[in-house]
Amino acid sequence: MKVVAIGNQKGGVGKTTTALNLSAALALRGQRVLLIDLDPQANTTSGLGLEVDGDDSVYPALLGEADVRDKIRDSGRERLSVIPAHMDLAGVEIELARSDDHLVRLRHHLQGLKPNDLFDYCILDTPPSLGVLMTSALAAADEIMIPLQCEWFGLEGLAKIVHVIDQIRDSGANPDLLLEGIVMTMFDGRTNLARQVVEEVGNYFPEQLYSTVIPRTIRIGEAPSHSKTIFEHDPQGTGAVAYMALADEFLARHGRPVEVAALP
């Protein structure tokens, strides 16, 4: 099981949208996926149409009061399981900060899932901050994918998250953490700015930048309000095509190339 954090400390960059739809796309491509919502705002959870209470999140497991395996739920989609979030998860920032091992608790739980061979990928949707939950996710992940909005302010946020990745490595909490890729989101090909930002990121991170870009579309934005992934809400639209292409590129990078086919 490969653990992939979807992270950016800047909000509004398409992080949750990417975590949700990439997970759904991978499941549609035959991969067994566990999606963990680590954001107390629980947008991924509500986007899947799940109703939860505080005990359903990863919170009790992080406090040593439960087994993380007992928190895994069926998402209602084939091959896609989820550990939901709840607003009570915000309390973990205070509780874990008091412990010396707060950075590695999530990592230990996820390491325990790997020998079971239940999932091919574990996707972590992280909160838009640099708090305990975000740093715990980075310490637990094998790699991180960074969604980046096609605006100049996004470049400043990219520099910050790359610095945090270096800190996590240097601290010894996760020396092998890999910057797996950068995904440009909310792309509007009609503007010079969007193209310039993509080009600038490619100059600094040519190997990490995904060739697939996620377009700015109304359908992507409105899908969660219907508790649907983009593949359920607008399966033939440009957003669904883009996220499926992202999943195919992701799988190819991980040595699992798939034949690009029409969406189901």
CA gap 215, 103 in Å, rounded:
35
Long-range contacts for 65-74 (Cβ within 8 Å, ≥24 apart)?
68/109, 68/110, 68/112, 68/113, 69/112, 69/113, 69/116, 72/34
Q: CB of 155 within 8 A of CB of 16?
A: no
For the chain, first and last CA: distance in Å?
25
Task: List the one residue out of 26, 34, 32 whose CA is nearest residue 58.
Answer: 34
Range of the domain at 63: 2-145+222-253
Whole-number pLDDT of residue 120: 96
Confidence of residue 170 (pLDDT cuts 50, 70, 90): very high
For residue 216, tell me if it sits in a domain.
no
Domain-embedded: residue 164: no
Q: Are 124 and 95 in contact (CB under 8 A)?
A: no
Answer yes or no: is 136 within a domain: yes
Give the strand order in the sheet containing 178-185. 73-77, 80-83, 33-37, 121-125, 2-6, 143-149, 178-185
User: Which CATH number does the domain housing residue 74 bear?
Assistant: 3.40.50.300
Give 250: exposed, middle or buried? Use CB within 10 Å, 0-12, 13-18, 19+: buried
Tell me the one-letter amino acid at 57.
S
Q: How far apart are CA 6 and CA 138, in angstroms?
A: 9
Mean pLDDT check: name the lowest of 94-98, 249-253, 260-264.
Answer: 260-264
Q: Which candidate, 136, 144, 133, 208, places its Cα nearest to that of 177?
A: 144
User: For 199-244, what is each residue's pLDDT tens digit?
Assistant: 999 999 999 999 999 999 999 999 999 999 999 999 999 999 999 9
Q: pLDDT (tens digit, 9 = 90+) per residue, 105-150?
A: 899 999 988 887 899 999 999 999 888 899 999 999 999 999 999 8
- What residues form DSSP beta bridges with 146? 182
- Number of domains forming the structure of the chain: 1
Q: Which is more confident, 28 or 56? A: 28
**Any bridge partners for residue 35, and if so which?**
82, 123
To the question of pTM greater than 0.75 for the whole model, the response is: yes
Give pLDDT, residue 135.
92
Rounded-to-integer distance, Cα 26 and Cα 79, Å: 9
| Residue 39 within any structural domain of the chain | yes
Measured CA distances, 3 to 9, 106, 157, 241 (Å): 19, 11, 23, 24
pLDDT at 262: 42
Whether 206 is covered by a domain: the verdict is no
CA distance 45 to 51: 8
Residue 103 lies in a domain: yes
Question: Between vectors from CA 178 to CA 72 and to CA 94, what angle results, nearest 5°?
Answer: 55
Residue 205 lies in a domain: no
| Model confidence pLDDT, tens digit, residues 51-104 | 877 678 898 888 888 889 999 999 999 999 999 998 888 887 777 777 777 788
CA distance 89 to 104: 17
Separation in Å, CA 251 to CA 245, 259, 260? 10, 11, 11
